[in-house]
């Protein structure tokens, strides 16, 4: 019998997760299939009940269920609890346990591919949604000391700043500011940042702001690393603007693969074949 793992979200469209997860499963010749499970909020409880059945090993969880799924699980790992979102479910001894691998997935490419040194760094983080929460957790835990949260809705940035300082030991000694995207100080924060992260949806294909960027080339210093978590398209307008400014860039696909690799390791207790997973994405054309 073939076992099952899959991705829960809605809508799922053309997701890359089955491509690189199946490549990892096939690499180890595991008799598992990675499926897409498009699920509305109404259908979520019955899908979680199905995962409890024989043959299912767990799941990945994406927009819009990362928060509401938590109430349907038996245990939540501490990292996921602190971040406030679950993106991975593991079935263990008949229990469903929720994990968050987004923070790991965010940090790994930053350290290993971009060779960024977070200790003492100044970071401008654009956004205060789910992806920004994981990035904020990872950055503060890695030793970032100056963090500016810039978001369209100020109250969301303020809440993220307050929760971080309340729940994260490292955040207590860090300086965390929050501003709106329209704040005139954004310019100064952007120009003086060692790292700028886009964790908003701006630049996403199929959205009404697909061709937009929150920062223009003149707002970016050539000494800055610009990391866009948007992965479709691979090269967003923000990354093009950063290149025009002479800055280094990091795209969102490696985060996607690394968060999936960490999920794979939680499910199978085997080292994820990162090169195989990355390579599987190379030939994929996004629609």
**What residue has token string 């990035």?**
135
Choosing from 66, 172, 269, 270, the catalytic residue is: 66
Q: How far is the CB of 221 from ligand NAP (least distance, A)?
A: 22
Active site residue 33: no
CB of 201 to ligand NAP, least distance (A): 4
Of 91 and 140, CB closest to ligand NAP: 140
**Binding stretches for ligand NAP (CB under 6 A):** 63, 102, 105, 127-132, 151-153, 156, 181, 199-202, 204, 209, 229-231, 252, 255-256, 259
Residue nearest to ligand NAP (CB): 129
The DSSP result for 98-150, as a single string, is EE--HHHHHHHHHHHTS----TT-EEEEE--SHHHHHHHHHHHHTT--EEEEE
Smaller CB separation from ligand NAP, 80 or 132: 132
- With residues binned 3-state (H G I as helix, E B as strand, rest as coil), the percentages for the chain, rounded to 5, are 40, 20, 40
Question: Could you tell me the CA-to-CA distances from 97 to 131, 134, 152, 263, 266 in Å, in that order?
Answer: 21, 18, 33, 12, 10
- Alpha-carbon separation of residue 58 from 157, 169, 266 (angstroms): 32, 31, 10
Cβ at position 93, least distance to ligand NAP in Å: 29
C-beta of 44 vs 202, nearer to ligand NAP: 202
Residue for token pair 């970032």: 144
Q: Which is nearer to ligand NAP, 3 or 204 (CB)?
A: 204
Residues marked active site are found at 66
């Amino acid at each position: 019998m073939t076992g099952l793992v899959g991705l829960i979200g809605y809508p799922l469209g053309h997701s890359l997760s089955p491509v690189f997860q199946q490549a990892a499963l096939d690499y180890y010749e595991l008799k598992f299939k990675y499926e897409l499970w498009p699920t509305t909020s109404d259908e979520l409880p019955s899908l979680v009940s199905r995962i409890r059945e024989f043959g299912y090993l767990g799941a990945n969880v994406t927009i819009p269920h990362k928060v509401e799924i938590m109430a349907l699980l038996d245990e939540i790992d501490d990292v996921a609890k602190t971040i406030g979102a679950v993106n991975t479910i593991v079935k263990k001894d008949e229990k469903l346990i929720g994990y968050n691998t987004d923070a790991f997935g965010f940090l790994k490419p930053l350290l290993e591919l971009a060779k960024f040194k977070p200790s003492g760094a100044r970071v401008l983080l654009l956004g205060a949604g789910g992806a920004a929460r994981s990035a904020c957790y990872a950055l503060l835990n890695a030793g970032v000391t100056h963090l500016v949260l810039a978001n369209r809705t100020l109250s969301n940035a303020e809440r993220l700043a307050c929760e971080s300082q309340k729940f994260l030991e490292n955040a207590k000694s860090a300086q965390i500011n929050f501003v709106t995207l329209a704040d005139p100080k954004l310019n100064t924060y952007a120009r003086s940042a060692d790292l700028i992260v886009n964790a908003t949806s701006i630049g996403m294909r199929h959205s009404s702001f697909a061709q937009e960027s929150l920062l223009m080339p003149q707002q970016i210093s050539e000494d800055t690393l610009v990391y866009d978590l948007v992965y479709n398209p691979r090269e967003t307008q923000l990354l093009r603007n950063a290149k025009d400014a002479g800055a280094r860039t990091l795209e969102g696909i490696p985060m996607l693969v690394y968060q999936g690799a960490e999920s794979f390791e939680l499910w199978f207790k085997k080292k994820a074949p990162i090169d195989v997973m990355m390579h599987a994405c190379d030939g994929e054309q996004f629609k």
